[in-house]
Structure 1
Amino acid sequence: MAEEKSQEKWEGKVSAQLKGSKARDVWPFYADFLNLHKWLPSVDTCHLLDGPVTGLQPGVLRYAASTVTSPSGEATVKWAKEKLLELDPIQRRLKYEVLENNVGFKSWVATMQVLPIDGDEEGGSEITWSFSGDPVEGLSYEMMLAYYDSNVQSVAKTIEDSLSHQAQVN
């Protein structure tokens, strides 16, 4: 892992490979900005807050929330209001900014991208999730990187399972 980051901006990138899934098949999951809860199992809900009802475009705002249970059994809802900054189907890239939240993010921008492994469209794919922002109070840089890595691995498994199921049905 990277060195300890304390005062400067945190920047990081994690990735996961989906060896049996083509990038063009994986991209629609990422491009579905308002349905994060469908491919990131730790998110309970995700929905449109503001923006055009038809067509997803930069400027759309979403609300995403997760219920976290403490070791003592107390449930807390962690939420974020996020703005879509970029949706590029050619580069298969989505960029968003966390505007408001109760998690501790201040200035925070994240980018998700789907790439073909070794540039081969017929081969597998790699999903990346990068971030840049101010340090989050109460967390270390390593904890944040581990959080993103855990999530990208979970996303990869969910998408791969979904695509495998679709292939079996067809």
Structure 2
Amino acid sequence: MAHHENQPKWKGKANAKVEGPKAEQVWPLLEDFFGLNKWFPTLSTCLPVEGISGQPGCVRYCAGFKTPVNNGEEIVNWTKQKLLSIDKTELTFSYSIIDGNVGFNSYVSTIKVVPNEDGCNVEWLYEVEPVEGWTQEDLKTFITSGLLVMAKRMEEALQAAQTSAS
């Protein structure tokens, strides 16, 4: 573990397009801090630990997700994540991982919904100390693929809701 200490943090950004639904429709799905399991692939559990969902300081427990370094092993990955800040006007929030078994130290992430002409983009900026057993590419793949699935699921859920409403 010590050999990572002097290395710079890994930083990156993933982007996913949500076609059709507007930023104001996608935001409430992301703003529900305790509802991540509805959208993130293979995440079977997302439970409130403390606080009120969507209020800074609240903590969620997430478990059951797969990572690129599991190599088929049946490990139950888990993290506790704390909401650091939220801006309902700018459609953005930041959170950190405060505990877990995936080796993410000093992990901070910012999620932002950005309007565009045919819907919106969801941006996921992240920063973490180098992770034992991972490459920076593993992390990028994990976050990008997760975000792409989330965007697709949100797009489908919002389109289905629109269809049933009309």
Compute the TM-score of the two structures, normalised by the length of structure 1.
0.87
Distance 1:19 1:43 in 2: 23
1:66 aligns with 2:64: yes
Structure 1 runs not aligned, ≥5 long: 1-5
Query: Which residue in 2 is equivalent to 1:105?
Result: 104
1:23 aligns with 2:18: no
Query: Which residue in 2 is equivalent to 1:138?
Result: 133
Distance 1:132 1:110 in 2: 6
3-state SS in 2 of match to 1:75: coil
1:41 aligns with 2:36: no
**Displacement, 1:41?**
2.7
Aligned residues: 157
Matches within 5 A, 1:2-21: 7-21=7-21
Query: Which residue in 2 is equivalent to 1:3?
Result: none
Distance 2:84 2:58 in 1: 8
Distance 2:139 2:75 in 1: 19
1:125 aligns with 2:123: no
Cα deviation 1:100-153 (Å, max 9, x = unaligned): 000011111011110101xx5xx4100011101101111111111111110110
Structure 2 runs not aligned, ≥5 long: 1-5
1:152 aligns with 2:147: yes
**Displacement, 1:67?**
5.2
3-state SS in 2 of match to 1:107: coil
Distance 2:42 2:114 in 1: 24
1:165 aligns with 2:164: no
The runs of at least 4 consecutive aligned structure 1 residues that moved more than 2 Å come to 67-71
**Displacement, 1:19?**
2.1
Distance 1:116 1:148 in 2: 21
